[in-house]
Structure 1
């Protein structure tokens, strides 16, 4: 079983930086989740530097502890996980990087292991979805973001961080009837920037609508839209969160959720058939005091917790004692 080092025995500032001080090993044996970095950012339209996002999140994540009091579970009583390292991306070539991503993620997915993928700009989600489609077919998408990322092109380019979900729909990777986008806001080029996603079949709840509906109602709508059977991929753009809480990103938009609200959205996904996650657009150069890294590492930890909750539920053990033996594919 793989778990973090005990910080009461080994100080957090020692050792090579991995997520939560997990073992850095490329294995799918006896693991339930893996942390994977995709440090690609040359499909971004404004600030670049999210290629350093994975290492920035890992660096701060050493402060995480295994017990999640909000969900009342010790993640590593039920799960084994490793830091799988990074995909060897190709700077400046998004299409060849997608090929590398599919190649790198396929052996993980074939074993039924849940990847938690750290970006990188949001263009990487298309590569992720291509890999997941090989295993699961059309998937439901739960998308937290301030932008819909369903433009047809940007600067005449079809593959950017503003276009991945239009391409994913065109490629038949997403079941839009069971997919939802939450948090869209900010000035747009025109009304089509929101309507395009709806025309593709997504349910879209803008940030102003979430304020009117309330968080509980938005969560209810997510569950109603997605259902419990469909395999679900969760994509979380850190600019979903208000820049007061997450300044380290490339295209910040004001009037977003607080860090507390953002974590509550992730926690509330428990009960869905979650098979994979990505967390994107963390840009260290603009991250004053590492507050974006603090939030991003907490979001990734909540994603790990969701894997543990699902494992506990399937084991039939809800009392916090040791679950069934860990093994790949017990999802």
Structure 2
């Protein structure tokens, strides 16, 4: 009887909330194909989730690098680059693979149950800007292209609260940008772009590898350009002054090392380490706490996610897989635990679809992880509110 009573209560609740705006079906351009079931029905027939052009989560597409007319609060942009990888190439196809893996994210309306928010139906205008044109013949030029392309997307007025004070160096409110990689080398030009907007920035880095190696250790650095790759970009970022000291953290680390000196160098670069195996002792809650304690809740934060944070059982399609990683559920739980942190931009890298299974395990895991990130950004509100909350905190302290 208790079961039936609970079920009846649930049905009543669902019925009572059945007319909420966030439950409206996805619409599309095909007016002549709309099937009216009741007099007065409106709307248009949308493409099925398995048809149409792929954008992230089927959000609107705009060629942002070809026009400055469109406004947005969150933009997805691809960086199809993989000539900085040390093992498996193929991440140049990561942006298209992640978009393919994201097709059914809003199949049921896009509501994120654990975070209690719908990032597809909120205050934020979210669009997919396509990909940055990246050459595959000249790494130095490709890195420059990625920085300039990203910065062009980043430095525009957002659709919401554009005129209000924000946390950027010039006091402006900027949109958030989520970049689809690409191998992890792309994080260096992305951090250069972020530095132009925010100055030195705090980084949360999910990865199985440190990526702070000295060039002479990782790759041998036979030339200036060879010294910049997917294992050394944080070394360069630190020496270029792009990182905020003593607030950066790695999570998911489980790689072999050239020696313990690698850890010493990592600390010098400015990172704290959370090993992947710590999940067995402190759990997801303990890892989340370590990240919050290290990063804090005042600084702008850049989030960089290597899909090899996941165990190869969950994400086989990556450039440098390492066993002993987290499950997709564990990573998504930890990402959701970042709520309250000031995420201003993100990248997800090292998805190499050619190594995936026919079930698209890796691309779906990548898309679902970014669904959590996107939801966190929406829940946090416009970046102008980051400044507003700091002002309120100062005023409260002064009042005391």
User: Does 2:213 correspond to 1:151?
Assistant: yes
Q: Is the contact made by 1:139 and 1:173 (CA closer than 8 Å) also made in structure 2?
A: yes
Counterpart pick for 2:181 among 92, 111, 119: 119
Q: What is residue 56 of structure 1 aligned with on the other side?
A: 97
User: Which digits, 9 at most, give the CA deviation of each residue in 1:269-296, with x for residues without a partner?
Assistant: 1111111000000011111121001100
2:259 and 2:315 map into 1 onto residues whose CA distance is 26
Q: What is residue 127 of structure 2 aligned with on the other side?
A: 82
Q: What is residue 22 of structure 2 aligned with on the other side?
A: none
Secondary structure at 1:266 match in 2: helix
Q: CA 1:150–1:92 in 2, change beyond 3 Å: closer, same or farther?
A: farther
Q: What is residue 368 of structure 2 aligned with on the other side?
A: 298
1:78 and 1:69 map into 2 onto residues whose CA distance is 18
Shift of 1:115: 0.7
Shift of 1:314: 7.5
Shift of 1:6: 4.2
User: Which digits, 9 at most, give the CA deviation of each residue in 1:242-283, with x for residues without a partner?
Assistant: 111000101111111110011111111111111100000001
- Once the two structures are overlaid, the 10-residue window that deviates more, 273-282 or 263-272, is 263-272
Counterpart pick for 2:191 among 105, 129, 133: 129
Q: What is residue 142 of structure 1 aligned with on the other side?
A: 204
Q: What is residue 72 of structure 1 aligned with on the other side?
A: 116
2:382 and 2:74 map into 1 onto residues whose CA distance is 14
Q: CA 1:64–1:101 in 2, change beyond 3 Å: closer, same or farther?
A: same
User: Which digits, 9 at most, give the CA deviation of each residue in 1:68-122, with x for residues without a partner?
Assistant: 1111111122221111011111214222122112211223222311111010100
Shift of 1:221: 1.5
1:91 and 1:122 map into 2 onto residues whose CA distance is 15
Q: CA 1:314–1:90 in 2, change beyond 3 Å: closer, same or farther?
A: closer
Q: What is residue 61 of structure 2 aligned with on the other side?
A: 24
Q: With the length of structure 1 as denominator, give the TM-score of the two structures.
A: 0.90
Q: With the length of structure 2 as denominator, give the TM-score of the two structures.
A: 0.75
Report the aligned-residue RMSD. 2.0
Counterpart pick for 2:247 among 175, 178, 197: 178
Q: What is residue 294 of structure 2 aligned with on the other side?
A: 225
Q: CA 1:159–1:46 in 2, change beyond 3 Å: closer, same or farther?
A: same
Shift of 1:313: 10
Pairing 1:1-331 to 2, within 5 Å after superposition = 5-6=26-27, 9-27=46-64, 29-65=70-106, 66-75=110-119, 76-111=121-156, 112-153=174-215, 154-156=219-221, 157-288=226-357, 289-311=359-381
1:77 and 1:117 map into 2 onto residues whose CA distance is 21
Secondary structure at 1:123 match in 2: helix
Secondary structure at 2:184 match in 1: coil
Secondary structure at 2:252 match in 1: strand
2:111 and 2:27 map into 1 onto residues whose CA distance is 12
Secondary structure at 1:176 match in 2: coil
Shift of 1:206: 1.4
1:291 and 1:219 map into 2 onto residues whose CA distance is 25
User: Which digits, 9 at most, give the CA deviation of each residue in 1:124-177, with x for residues without a partner?
Assistant: 000100000000000000000000001112142310100010100000000131
1:233 and 1:313 map into 2 onto residues whose CA distance is 13
Q: Which consecutive unaligned segments of at least 5 residues does structure 2 have? A: 1-24, 29-44, 157-173, 386-400
- Once the two structures are overlaid, the 10-residue window that deviates more, 150-159 or 248-257, is 150-159
1:238 and 1:312 map into 2 onto residues whose CA distance is 27
Q: What is residue 388 of structure 2 aligned with on the other side?
A: none
